Every structure is written in structure tokens, then in C-alpha cells.
Structure 1
Amino acid sequence: MASPLAHPPQTALRSPDLVMRLARMGSFHQCRLSFMRTLLRKLSREAWTFERPVFDLDVRGVGTAVYTAKGPDGPLSLVCFGHDLPDDQRSDRVIAHAWDATFALFDGVPTQDDIVRLTGNVPKQEAGRVSTSELSLSRANRSVRLFEHVLTRLAAGQQPDAEQITQVGYLMRTTAVYGAGKFGAADLTPGTQPFQTEMLTVFLIRAFTLDLVEHMARLRAPDTAVTIAPDLRRRFGVGNSTGLGMAPFIVNHPVLLNNWIAARETALARVRAVPVATEAAQRTFADVLQRAVENTAIWTSQHPLQVEKIAALAADLGAVQNHVAGGALVGERPWDRLCDWSQTHLSLEGQEQLVSLVLEPYGALVDDLTMGMGADEDAEFAIDGQMRIGDLRVGLDTVFDWALEQDWDAPAQVARVWYTSEEKLEPRLGERFDEPIEPYEQPLSPARDAAALAQDLQQWSSTEPVAAFLLRHPEHRHMVRRVQIAMRHPYAEIRDNTIAADMLPIDLLRCKLSFFGATHFDPRSDRWVRITMFQNAPFPHELSHVQEDDWAYPAQAAGG
């Protein structure tokens, strides 16, 4: 998948002042560099094989299953536990204590002793214990209405209703997928790209969910039950409910955030530098553009802000089609001209959708950038104490000039407080002037802290070292570190106030989830969102004979 050129030509990257605004980050879409797509390209390219050595579940879906994925570095197995959960206990909240299904990704092939150990712990989730043989811990709940509809139809020998599948999009939704060493699990990921352990977990959960409903239908009505038609089966993804627990990640991992955004912006800059759009590239773009139109038509939301954004996106995509039909891709540097045009003719939602779309014809040009999306954050942690204060001021003014101009005494500027809940140790967001939570505030407001740093630097000479300043003001260590990181990594910092009264946490969630590869964002408030993952993707048994990476948008309707 290496790029055909060692250093492909590219235009100038978009400015962080443009890209790193929350409203724009909250309009990002999945693209070729998203982690789900990276995973499936890897599994297909490396010819991974999949087995289901254990599938012991009853008519209620209670029991155990194991899915084993075999790659060049050895096998990984998803151990699945199905439970009989009463409807009144089904909740999307992270504080729930019971679920329809629980899972652990096991490093290797589990023995019977391993399964017994996991049976006593995985269903308890945080209250249980896992070992370094496990790579992830997760749980999911059924979409009750659609799950029962599909089960009933299959048992009766009928296919489920396509419209209902479209409206919901999944049979189960995860409420947490924990990796990266949480709760005693190993801090290990297959490959070098981020979140591949979690993405593999969800990919196998999707297979389990569809197998489960077909299995339950056979047990309910062995003489009449049928399986789901392949074209309908692919329409099911895995749902996910994500809340504030994910939001601080973006702030707490500036180097990783930079590497994600820089890869995407570099991919865009490479495509914008393409001198001429070939007929093949134009056909690919026209195809994926039409599929994006159809995807937008089936994207529903209950949140007024997202409803407005979807309507704007539908209009934007129509405008792009008309513009392209008028000859926009003819001539030199067509993608550069198209992106320039979008800045004045499309909403933020449309502009960022277009960024994703123009990458689609150019996998050979951009896919190698996924190899740089991880980060060794420990290597970036050290503070350069020898730096002169004058140089630190230059970095501070470059990255946080907008923040230094704010009135930080205004209540609206400091209205929110990020803190950690006692019960679940999960991030929460409270109102500073309504709740007694300020003593528990977490350092998740770089803009305010940058202004405080600038204030205390005023009394210091430009020639003095940073180390001397920090000896006197150790409370600024974290902010000095962030400034130095941002001086090396231009996309490391959000150019917005993360504790303002009008800040929308869902913008932080949307940004991160777009890099996962999520679709159909449906905010349920400004603090949590439902999404769909792996919708339209091939299943494990299909990876060896499907067109590589042609699944991220739904197939065109007949005659499309």
C-alpha cells in the first residue's frame, strides 16, 4: 500500500486556525484513513482467516461463542457471552450493571479453563477482572424493536423489512469497548495504527450479532427459519452510544490528535496537487458522490442541530453534483479548484464531506499515511527547560493568540467544569456557577491555562530559561509542555474554548468517532451521541472475495 512516490507532491496544508475549530471538527466524516477501513484493508491484504470454534447459545440467546481470527502474527479470539436481560434493565448508560451480551478479545485461542475464568468475570465488566491475555473488554445491548422484528421474520421464513433496517441500522449497540490496558487487560494492538484492537472487537461483535439472530430463529422454528439475504445482511452495522467519557481524550492526547489530523490534511493536500483528474478518477468520484447523496437521504437524527446539518449536507452534495456536471473536474488541478470552491459555496458539513470524498479515487496516493497515525507520547513528554522564555512566548502567541484576547473574567467563558465522577471514574461536565464542583476540576481547558501562563510570563526576561520560570511557577508545567508540543505539532491544539457556556461536547465526540469510521451521527443531547459502525462492510467470511475497501458508502440503488 505504499504510495507510488516517496514524497508525493502536495499543496500547502490547511491552517490549524481553520481546521482546529470545534464547529469544523464536529463536521468531520469517515474517510479512507479511518480506523475501521484501515483494519479491513489489513485483514484482506494479509489474508486473515476466521473460524467459529464455539457457538453454544440457546433459544433466548444465552450462552457462549468464540470467534477466532488468524493473522500473520497469530490468532486472536473474541469470546462472547449472551445473557437474558429483562427489557427494564436495558440501558445505554455507562453506569448500567447488566447487558444483553458481553465480550473479551483474547490473545490466542482460549482453552476451556480460559473460558471458565472469563465466564466468571467478563459479564461483570468493570466489577470483574481480566488478565494480560485479554486485549479488550466490551458489552452491547439489543435494539429491541429491530432484533425482535428480524427474529420473528426469519423464524417465519421471511426476510426482514428493508425500511426498518435502514431506519435503525443495527441489531446491537455497544455501550463501551475498553482497550489500552483498562481493567487489567493487555496494552497491545495488532499492527501500528491506533485502535485496531477495538475495531477488530467491534467487527467480530457484528458477526456474532447476525449469527445469533439467525441461530435463535432456527431454534425457534427449525422447519421454517431462513437466513438473512446477503444484500440485507450487509446493511446491518453495530450501533454505539458514546458520551462524555470519550471527549477529554482529544484534549489529553495532543500528539495523537495532531497525527490523525495531519495525516488527513496531508492526504487532502496530495490529492489537491494531482495535476489532472483521469476519467477513472472522475468515475470513482461520481460514484461515491452519488452514494454519499443516498447515504445522506437515509441519515436521520432527533437533535435539531444535526437535523439542520443533514439538510444542509443534502443541499451541498446536490450543489457539488451540479458543479461537477458543469465541468469542474476538467482542466488543471481540478481537486484543488473544487476544494477552493467549497469554502464559499458549502456548509462546514459539506466542506468536510467533500474532503473525504476527494480521497476516494486515490487510495494508492494516500493510504500509506495511516502508518503515521500512531504516536509515542512518552517521547514527547519531556519539557525543554533550556528553551528561552522569548521562544516560549513566540510559540504561545502562535498557537493561542486567540485565547490571549479573551476576557477570562466573563462568566460565559468559564461556565463549565470538567471533573471525574466518583462512582465510575468517568469524565463529567458540570456548571461552574450552579454546582460545588470547582475543587474537582480537571486540567481540560488549555485556552484558559495558556492565558494564565502568558500573564505570569510578563514579568520575566526573554533571555531567561524556561526551567527557571517553572521552578517559581510549577503550576504551569503542563501548559509549557503543551505549548512546546504544539510548536512541533501544529494540529495538536483545538482553537476553541473547551469550558465556554456555548461549547458543544458532541463536536469533540464527532471528531474522534469520524477517525474510527463511524457514520450516521445522531446526537441525543449536546453530551452523547449514537452512531453506526461497519455498516455495509463485508463480514469475515466475505473478506477474501469482495472488492477491497468499497463498502464505506451504501451501494447505489438500482438505476442510481
Structure 2
Amino acid sequence: MTGSTIAPRDPRKVMTLARMGSFHQCRLSFMRILLRRLKREGWRFDRPRFDIDARGVGVAVYAAHGPRNSYSLVAFANDLPPEKRSDRVIATEWDATFTLFDGVPGEDDIARLARNIPLQEAGRVSQSELSVSRANRSVRLWDHVVERLSTGRQPDPEMIEDVGYLMRTTAVYGSGKLGAADREWTENRPEFRAPFQIEMLSVYLTRAFVLDLVDHMAKVRAPGKAVSLAPEMRRRLGIGNSTGLGMAPFLINHPVLLHSWIAAREKALARVRALPRIGADAAQALRALAARAHAEVDSWQSAHPLQVEKLARLRADMRALCDHLETADLAGALPLDALYIWGEAQLGIDGQELLVSLMLEPFPDLVDPLAEAMHADEANTTRIDGTMSTARLRAIVEDVYDWALAIDWDDPGAQANVWYTSEEKLEPRLGGREEPGIAAYEQPLCPGRDAARMHRDLAGAPDTSVGAFLMRFPQHRHIARRAQIAARFPYAEIRDNTIGADLLPIDLLRAKLAFFGAGHFDPRSDRWVRINMYRNAPLPAELSQVAADDWSLPALERTMS
């Protein structure tokens, strides 16, 4: 119980692109929510099929059995020529393709899926499939691991540490993509009520398949000499991911869901800050977690100037935090509130947000139940209230979008970018407004500018109802809806210019991926990033015997050995 009340942070502070682009995984990240449930409910795992030939071609099935339902990852392995390997969304072949099947597939199901899943966008699936995904090998590490294992040796630990994954996904599609089951089909199942649990389960089982596949390839190369990858090596390998602009507009297009995610995290922070005292065990845990985070950040590498600069600041912040925790009075009154206030004064934004994640770790009883509130009923919360007065709507705009009303939208730099949809792949893209003809295809992904435009028309219109106003100005329907949503869901709106000259789309990607639970952010430009998923996490076969939620930061002896 808390002895005082501390309010969640102001959306004006939290919902800027710079701060969202500095988020880190935490106890409320979706991978961690999933593994806690799998452990708590005693899910069972098996591998009913593994028919992969000496070339690495074939099919495997990995099944997860819960209290009510079973799900199966159906994996199709391919012998992909090097010249066809690409992380770009326009690729047509991959080293492996996957679907998460609702239940355990029969022979007819697998035959049907074999005709479609390897084709990805060119194929079609049914309501029995919950997700569709694909992955490519990290060739340098893959070849090294197979070669070492086939000669009876373990791979070089430094290479494992440097790369961190044997395959990386280039897309994990769910929610109706390519004909897969819509979200409405599964949202009432307890295991899928939290966001993106289908996708997180798919990636978790994919990791198990990839680790088994590399063992298999070593053994078919040298049947009498090959060894299996050591358990510690297996855990240190996650699944990589390459993510670009296709993901960026998601947070803008799902304001109520965004609010649910941010509100849960901010409520968790407020609960922890309000603790009147913490025990010696919690204080020691916090110090140890900070040291682990410091070591993990020190192990990150990137060649991109943006991330190199951020990493340098974050490393300095982690040194400062660890030094401060050595002498900080964590036995005093409101110790975590004092620690947070210190962080605001002494750390950069990236360091502040990592501190937030660390502060939540020792308090699962306060934090973990908030995962149950991270879903959103988008269908029943986005209807426009036409009876609202225009005076009330104008007041909302002036409160939520005050930052946007201060921008000179006639300045070309304020509208330098255009979000549009690629004709080739029907995915979001970003182009310069000066490009000929591009403005005609602009998507409504700049709420700030649109709110300013609506505010101008509201100022010149007579007092009436929102319904009557929108009959006269129908172009403002989408932003009127957003404003009404933001009035009820304070973290629904990003309080920043999403088309300005200084926009870094990577901030949008990072915010979403942090909620997924990703680690080791490695931007390759300001528009796409590589990350690692489930690195250090227990594997399905060992989940029942080990802790489910002490893997997001590696142990010190591992990172420093």
C-alpha cells in the first residue's frame, strides 16, 4: 500500500517524440507479459514435427498448450540463395516463413499452408491462422555457429555477444493480414487480451525453431562429431528484427490503444514513486538492476551517428546513476520519488526513461496487474459526439494542441514531410513535400497541423454543435474525433509535429518496439532499426524450471565475462 498519492506524469511531458524515442522495455512490455502468463498457467510445449532435410529445407511444428487452447508455429525452412536474401519488404523469398496456427494442424492443414505461407503476400491464409511471418539468417553468425558445432566446438562467445541472433524477422503480420484471423476472433481469449500476444508467441516459438535448426544443420554436416549449442549460448541468442517506416504510423492511427499503453506505464511509475518506504531487498535489487543495465548498455554497438551519440549519453547516465545509488538514501521517506526527481535533474531523456523502467522492476505486485488494462476497445470509443458544443471543442483543441497552435504552419519547414502509402507494397512511406505530385497522396498523419486548421475554422464559425460544424467543414471530421478522444484519454495524442523537417521517424518505431519488449536498438538510419527480441529469455523447454521474468537484463557475470 502507498501512503501518499503522486499523480502520473503530464502528457505534455511524456508524449513528445524525443521522450517516446527514448523508451526502454519494462515489466509491462508485451514479451514479458506473455512469458509471465505462460509460466503462471503452466503451459506445455512440444515439437510434433521436425522434417528438415540435409539442405535445411522442410517443415517443423512447435506447439504450445495452455489451460484452454493450443497454438502451433508451423515453420517452413528454405535453402535460399545468397543473392535472394533481403530484409526489404519487397523481397519474395526468405530463409524461413511461419504461421501461428489456431490449434494443432493436421496433414491437410500443413499441405495447404505449404502452398501459401512461403509466398507470404502472394499467398492467402484462413481464420485458422493467427499470424504470418518470415525471417532471414544473420549469415556471418549462422555460418560460424554451424561450422563450430559441426567440428565439436562451441561458437565464439564474442561473436554471439556481438550479433545476438541467428535469424531476424522482416515482418510479423497479424490481425487479418493476408486473410489471417481478425483481432475480434481472439480478443476475448485471456491469453490474447493484452496487446500483440499472438505476435509475441509466434516470435517466442520461432526462436526455439531457429536454435533447433542450427543444431540440425551442424549434425547433418558431421553426424558423428557435431555437438549441440550449449544452453547458455542458446539463451544468449534472441530473434533479430528489421523494422522500418511501415510500423511508424501505428501509434498515430491507434490513439486509444496508445493511451492504454502509456497510461499503464505512467500509473505504474506513480504507484512506485508514492511508496512511503522500501525494504532493504528492494533497494539492493534496484542497485543490482542498475549495474546490469549499465553493463548491458556498455555492450551495445552501433555505427549510426544518431545512436552513437545517444549511446554515449546513456552510458554516461548509467555511470552517474550507479554512482548515485551507492550513496542515495533509499531507506528514507518516499525514496523512489526522490530518486526520480534526482534523475530528472541529472540525467538526459534516455537515462530518465531507463531509470523509469528500472524503478518498476522490484515491485511486481504494484506493476504487473496493470497489464490487464493495456488493451483498448477502439470500436466503441471513437464515435464523434455531434452534440458537443463548438465552444467545448475549441477549448479542447486549445488545451491538447496548444503546442500546435504555436507553430507557424506556413513555414515550409513545419510541413517538410508527407506521409503517403506506397503503391507497390501498400505500406506507409515518408517523402519530401517538394517532390512533384506527392502532396496529393498525403495521409492524415499530422494531427497537430490539422488541429490548427480546425481551430482557425472554429474561431470563425458561430457557436453551434459539433455536428452542425462538421456538416459545414467535413474535412475536419478526423481531427474532431481525435480531439474528443484526447479529451477522454490524455495519453492518446502525440504532442509533437509528425511532418516537420526535424522529424525522426525512428522515435515512433522505438516507442512501439520498447512496448514490445525489444532490446539493443540499432538504428541503421532515421527510418529503420534493428533490434533483438527474447535475448536471454528462458526457452520453452526450460520455462517451467526457471524464473520467467529475470531475463530482460543479463546477469553481470555474463555481460562482463
Quick check: TM above 0.5? yes
Which residue in 2 is equivalent to 1:337? 338
User: Match for residue 69 of structure 1?
Assistant: 64
Deviations 1:262-294 (A, max 9, x none): 000000000000111211101211121111011
Number of residue pairs matched by the alignment: 554
State the AA in 1 paired with 2:529: V
1:168 correspondence with 2:163: yes
Q: How does 1:202-221 map to 2 (within 5 A)?
A: 202-221=203-222
Amino acid across the alignment from 1:537: A
Aligned-pair CA distance for 1:9: 5.7
The aligned residue for residue 542 of structure 1 is 542
Match of 2:370? 369
What is residue 518 of structure 1 aligned with on the other side? 518
Q: Which residue of 2 aligns with 1:48?
A: 43
Aligned partner of residue 24 in structure 1, secondary structure? helix
Distance 1:435 1:26 in 2: 31
User: How far did residue 248 of structure 1 move?
Assistant: 0.6
Q: List per-residue Cα deviations over 1:160-210 (Å, max 9, x = no partner).
A: 111001110000000000001111100235431000000000000000000
The alignment partner of 1:544 has SS state of coil
Matches within 5 A, 1:14-53: 14-53=9-48
Deviation at residue 59 of structure 1 after TM alignment:
2.1
Question: For 2:112 and 2:262, how far apart are their aligned partners in 1?
Answer: 41
CA distance in 1, matches of 2:267, 2:471: 39
Deviation digits for residues 406-465 of structure 1 (CA, Å, limit 9, x no counterpart): 111110000100000111100000000124211111000101100000000012234x21
2:302 pairs with 1:301 = yes
Gap change, CA 1:454 and 1:75, over 3 Å in 2: same
Moved more, 9-18 or 146-155: 9-18
Q: How does 1:159-308 map to 2 (within 5 A)?
A: 159-187=154-182, 188=186, 190-308=191-309
| 2: CA distance, partners of 1:31 / 1:497 | 27
Alignment-derived partner of residue 443 in structure 2: 442
Q: Which residue of 1 aligns with 2:149?
A: 154
Number of the residue aligned with 1:90: 85
Q: 1:296·1:314 contact (CA, 8 Å) conserved in 2?
A: yes
Shift of 1:303: 1.1
- 1:395 partner amino acid: I
Q: Tell me, in whole angstroms, the C-alpha distance in 2 between the residues paired with 1:122 and 1:440.
A: 32
Larger deviation: 434-443 or 396-405? 434-443
Q: CA deviation at 1:393?
A: 1.1
Distance 2:135 2:329 in 1: 46
Q: Who is 1:471 aligned against? A: 471
Q: State the Cα distance separating 1:328 from its structure 2 match.
A: 3.5
Alignment of 1:310-325 (within 5 A): 310-325=311-326
Q: Secondary structure at the match of 2:121?
A: helix
Is the Cα–Cα contact under 8 Å of residues 280 and 331 in structure 2 kept in the other structure? no
Residue type at the aligned position of 2:31: M
d(CA) in 1 for partners of 2:288, 2:546: 17
- Number of the residue aligned with 1:124: 119
Secondary structure at 2:313's aligned position in 1? helix
Determine if the alignment matches structure 1 residue 136 to structure 2 residue 137. no
Unaligned runs of 5+ in 2: none
CA distance in 1, matches of 2:380, 2:490: 17
C-alpha distance in structure 1 between counterparts of 2:329 and 2:317, whole Å? 15
Partner-residue secondary structure (3-state), 1:361: coil
User: What is the distance in 1 between the residues matched to 2:350 and 2:379?
Assistant: 35
In structure 2, the residue matched to 1:484 is: 484
Aligned-partner Cα distance in 2 for 1:317–1:417: 37
Aligned equivalents of 1:111, 1:25: Cα separation in 2: 44
Distance 2:482 2:348 in 1: 31
Provide closer, same or farther for how the CA distance between residues 95 and 413 of structure 1 changes in structure 2, counting only shifts above 3 A. Answer: same
1:312-369 Cα offsets, whole Å, 9 max, x none, are 1111111111111113323110110111111111011100000000000001111000
Q: Which amino acid aligns with 1:149?
A: H
What residue number does 2:501 align with? 501
**CA–CA separation in structure 2 for the residues paired with 1:513 and 1:487:** 26
Match of 2:94 in 1: 99
Q: Percent of pairs identical after alignment?
A: 61
Pair 1:418-2:413 in alignment: no
Distance 2:535 2:429 in 1: 30
1:139 corresponds to which letter in structure 2? R
User: What is the alpha-carbon distance in structure 1 between the residues aligned to residue 305 and residue 96 of structure 2?
Assistant: 32
**2:4–2:276 Cα contact (<8 Å) kept:** no
1:8, distance to aligned residue in structure 2 (A): 8.8
**Which runs of no fewer than 5 residues in structure 1 stay unpaired?**
none
Q: Which amino acid letter does the alignment assign opposite residue 145 of structure 1? A: R
SS in 2 for 1:430: strand
Q: Deviations over 1:513-540 (max 9, x none)?
A: 0000000001111110000000000000
Distance 1:9 1:112 in 2: 60
- Relative to structure 1, is the Cα distance of residues 21 and 155 closer, same or farther in structure 2, using a 3 angstrom cutoff? same
Aligned partners of 2:435 and 2:389: how far apart in 1?
Answer: 41
**In structure 2, do the counterparts of structure 1 residues 335 and 114 end up closer, same or farther at CA, with 3 Å as the change threshold?**
same
CA distance, structure 2, for counterparts of residue 9 and residue 544 of structure 1: 38
Is the contact made by 1:506 and 1:528 (CA closer than 8 Å) also made in structure 2? Answer: yes
For residues 137 and 121 of structure 1, the distance between their equivalents in structure 2, rounded to whole angstroms, comes to 10
Counterpart AA for 1:333? L
Query: Structure 1 residues 50-59 or 137-146, which shifts more?
Result: 50-59
List structure 1 segments (4+ residues) > 3 angstroms apart after TM superposition. Answer: 7-10
Residues 1:8 and 1:225: Cα distance change in structure 2 (over 3 Å): farther
Q: For each residue in 1:55-92, what CA deviation from the matched residue of structure 2 results, as whole angstroms up to 9, or x when unmatched?
A: 01012211000001000121100000000101111111
Residue of structure 2 equivalent to 1:381: 382
> What SS does the aligned partner of 1:379 have?
coil
Query: Is the 1:10–1:271 Cα contact (8 Å) retained in structure 2?
Result: no
Q: Secondary structure at the match of 1:113?
A: helix
Task: Report SS of the residue matched to 2:192.
Answer: coil
Gap change, CA 1:8 and 1:161, over 3 Å in 2:
farther
CA distance in 2, matches of 1:548, 1:103: 25
Query: Do the aligned residues in 1 keep the contact of 2:46 with 2:62 (CA within 8 Å)?
Result: yes
Q: Which residue of 1 aligns with 2:356?
A: 355
